[in-house]
Amino acid sequence: MSATQTKITVLGGGNTAFSLAANLALAGHEVLLWEHPDLAHTIDPIRESLTIHLDGSARTGVARLAAVTTDPAEALAWSETLVCSVPSYAHQPFLEQLLPHLKPGHLIALLPGNLGALAFASALRDARIDGVIVAESDTAPYVCRKSAPDRAVIWGTVTGLGIGVEPASQTNEAMPVLRALFPGAVAYGSALEAGLSALNPVVHPPGVLMNAGRIERSRGEFWFYDEGVTPSVVNVIEAVDRERQALGVALGLSLTPVAEAFHRAGFGPAGDFWATINGSRMLTALRAPGQVETRWLTEDIPFGLATWSLLGDRLGVETPVIDSLVTLASATLDRDFRSETRGLESLGLTVLNDDALRAQAAGVGSH
């Protein structure tokens, strides 16, 4: 693994994966784009041309990829550096495809991870595969969207992307490689700290649930942050954030408050969360989801808030606002998100006593 490596494998075929593949290709990397075979339709439009048109505030132009494939063996043979930006509910089916082909020397980065790095690392241990480094970020590297089947737009690039590495002892090896792709990236002490620093679960569920009527009535034709994140919505977001920070305290972590984290990421100016959002050019440019059944609930509830709730139970930290949002989202979409959550066992955390759990969070003596 080398920070100067020019071959990169991008895993996924959605908004951020297309943006990643195009931006990295325009930066001079040789990029192979892999998508799960069940989702081959997302990459079919570029199979022949091998090109993605990139617009927006990052690099722009026609990006030519080295290859596009649904073959995991080809994808993992192409590069030791794998960057994956897919919804957390795709982590398991992706892992099932990738696991037989992962080998010592691979670095796989989940962007973001929502504690997925711990789930991947646990699966690697179970499969007795050593020498693979797993990392995850606290948010996606760009505010972006696919604007056509072969086109993407990046409205903003996250500054100081926060990344946690599992095992934490490999942080110094992984970070130069990832900083070469995401300049200014900063390291958390552990993947557990990175997962608890995720921004989406704090903001998206309150915003969607408290604007559910507006989303359904307008089919998303309103500006989510500009119009939907009002002072009362901010109150709920900040209540969720206080409970998240309490989880951090129980683990010996001082987690960055959501307003400060948004400012550090370059989303908006310093201030309280209301000021940061309203001063954000990139976020106020985002429309709301077109329907309530969006990954802003179907990902951020079971792989964000519901997991945090379980961790609260484990640590003896009360999370009433988080619990209420999980309950409300389950009722709204008529599904049991608590049964869909990524549990602590799959993260390899149930075998740890309190001291070991705090050591894991601090990146000391991790697996």
Domain with CATH 3.40.50.720 in the chain: 7-196
Contact in structure between 195 and 107 (CB atoms under 8 Å): no
Joined together, the tokens standing for residue 190 give 């552990």
Over 80: is that where the pLDDT of 366 sits?
Answer: no
Q: Which of 244-253, 260-269, 326-335, 344-353 has the lowest mean pLDDT?
A: 260-269
One-letter amino acid identity for 31? Answer: V
Question: If you count them, how many residues does the chain have?
Answer: 367
Q: Does an H or E element contain 273, and which?
A: helix 273-278
List, for residues 296-324, the tens digit of each pLDDT value.
Answer: 999 999 999 999 999 999 999 999 999 99
Is 60 exceeded by the pLDDT of residue 339? yes
- What is the dihedral angle through the alpha carbons of 330, 336, 337, 338, rounded to the nearest 10 degrees? 120
pLDDT over 60 at 367, yes or no: no
Q: For 176-202, what is each residue's pLDDT tens digit?
A: 999 999 999 999 999 999 999 998 999
Q: Is the pLDDT of residue 2 over 60?
A: no
Which residue, among 127, 123, 9, has the nearest Cα to 65 in the 3D structure?
A: 9
Write down the pLDDT at residue 287. Answer: 82
Residue 5 confidence (pLDDT): 58
- The closest alpha carbon to 88, from 264, 286, 347, 292, belongs to 347
- pLDDT mean across residues, the chain: 93
Tell me the CATH class for 7-196: alpha beta
Q: Whole-angstrom Cα distance, residue 42 to residue 261?
A: 32
- Residue 131 region by backbone torsions, left for phi larger than 0, else alpha for psi between -120 and 50, else beta: left
Q: Residues of CATH 1.10.1040.10 domain(s) within the chain? A: 200-362
Instruction: Enter the pTM of the model.
Output: 0.93
Q: Which residue has the higher pLDDT, 10 or 155?
A: 10
Report the sign of the C-alpha dihedral through residues 63, 65, 70, 76, in that order: negative
**Closest to 86 (Cα-Cα) out of 74, 98, 101, 77:** 98
The answer on pLDDT for 365 being more than 70 is: no
Contact (Cβ atoms closer than 8 angstroms) between residue 312 and residue 85: no
- Residue pair 177/198 in contact (Cβ under 8 Å)? The answer is no
In a 3-state reduction of DSSP, which class is residue 13?
coil
- Calculate mean pLDDT across residues 266-287: 78
- Residue 177 carries which side chain, given as an amino acid letter? V
Around Cβ 190, how many Cβ atoms within 10 Å? 26
The listed range with the strongest mean pLDDT (106-115, 264-273, 343-352) is 106-115
Residue 139 near residue 199, CB atoms below 8 Å? yes
pLDDT at position 254 is: 96
- The pLDDT value recorded for residue 301 is 98
Query: Residue 203: pLDDT band by 50, 70, 90 thresholds?
Result: very high
pLDDT of residue 27: 95
Q: Is 200-362 in CATH node 1.10.1040.10?
A: yes
% of residues, the chain, pLDDT over 70: 98
